[in-house]
Every structure is written in structure tokens, then in C-alpha cells.
Structure 1
Amino acid sequence: MAHLTQNPAEKERFICLYPVYINSKKSQAEGRRIPTEKGVENPSCAEIRDVLTAAGVNVLVEDKMHPREWNRDVQFRGRVRVQLKQEDGSLCHDKFSSRKDVMLYVSEMIPKLKSRTQKGGGGESGSQAGDGGKKSKKKKK
């Protein structure tokens, strides 16, 4: 886990990622930042943290709320700080060069988590056993 100090240069290397950014149930006006079809249904901070930690990214979870989030439930709380750049300004991981890269990766990997695949019939009709992520990736047009 990373430790953020009061050094502004150190904070610049971390980006903020709220679950609402990748939530397919939210509108753009409510804070979603990626296309609905690439989003995830009600992601949590823990899921975002787990996916990024497994990818070897330096993350820090903070108990903050997105300004447009009206629901104050624990499920919707939290913000994940993600380290994109090192002290010298170089990227930590080649596959994450921007905030959007991180959001798209997380939204692709969350449906493959065991906690999501074991729930069974609660999700969409095409998302059994981790298959759903691959189906949305292929374009049938």
C-alpha cells in the first residue's frame, strides 16, 4: 500500500477513481465516465482495489464520496487512489498510460472476479462463469 504525504508532487502521481466512473447504472450526468456497455453494474471500491492490486498497481483506498452520489450507503462509499507515474515521471505500468486505460481495465476485470461469477442468476442473462466480459468485447455488427 502507498502512503501519501503532504508533498504535492507525490499526490500528482496518483489519480482518483470513484466506483461511479465505471457504474453502468449511472448516467453521464451522475458521474459515469465510460460507455454504458463497457461499465459494470454497481462496482464497489473493494472490487476496484482487488483488481488493481492483482495487476500489481500501487493503490490506496480512501473513505470519500463522489460529489454527485446522493446515496450515502456504505456500498457507494470510497475512492481508490491509483499510482500511474513514478517519482521521475515515468509510467509505473505500460498498460496504464491514462485514467481511461485504468477505468476500462477495471470494468473489464470486475465481472471476472469470483465474487461476481459465483452469485449466479443475479446478473444479466449472458454473464455466467466469467463469459460476460468476453461477449461484450466482441463486436457483432
Structure 2
Amino acid sequence: MVENVIWPAYLDATKSRAEGRRVPLDEAVDDPSVDEIAEAVQQVGYDAVIERETTYSREFDPRGRVLVKGADDASKNDLVKAIAAYVAILRD
């Protein structure tokens, strides 16, 4: 089983592509939390495990990460875009 790692920076509208954002700016959200990401992962239909004490290599402050289990059938890019869309929906 493949585990995909989703860092909050991947979805963060305050980050540039060079700083780690992986979705287009119009699909990104401001300062996503690992809790929001984990909830969005579950809405997409996969299991999520939150690791809070880790730091993304392009950031200084630890925000954590989310491990996505069971996403063997989806590309990471598609997965990140779907999660970003659900985080935006959860905020509305």
C-alpha cells in the first residue's frame, strides 16, 4: 500500500510554487491546517493519519503533515487538487 504525504504548504495560498505550493493559486486556501486536510482526505474516501511534529523542508515552523493511505489508484497531483477543493468546501 502506498502512502502519500500531504504537507499544508502544498495547498497554501500564501506560498509560491518555489515555496512548495502544488495547486494553482485559485484552488489554494489560506493557511490550511492538518486537521482540515485530514478531514478533506476522508471526504475524498481515503484514510488519513496526522503527524503533527514534523516540518516541511521548505518551512521553518512545524505544521505537521497528513499521510494518505489507500490512494493507490490516484496520482498525487489529482489527490492534492481534490483535497484542496474539499478544504475550500469545508471552509464555506
Instruction: Indicate the TM-score class for this superposition, using the shorter chain for normalisation.
Output: 0.7 to 0.9
TM-score (norm 1): 0.59
Deviations 1:49-94 (A, max 9, x none): 0111133201111121101112x2xxx6110111212xxxxx3xxx
Percent identity reads 31
Residue 13 of structure 2 corresponds to residue 32 of structure 1: no
Aligned partner letter, 1:66: Y
Pairwise CA RMSD: 1.5
CA shift for structure 1 position 48: 0.6
Contiguous gaps of at least 5 residues in structure 1: 1-9, 86-90, 92-96, 118-141
Contiguous gaps of at least 5 residues in structure 2: none
1:107 to 75, 84, 87: 84
Answer whether contact 2:44 2:82 (CA < 8 A) is retained.
Answer: no
TM-score (norm 2): 0.86
Moved over 6 A (4+): none
Count residues in correspondence: 90
Aligned partner letter, 1:112: I
Residue 69 of structure 2 corresponds to residue 80 of structure 1: no
Residue 46 of structure 2 corresponds to residue 69 of structure 1: no
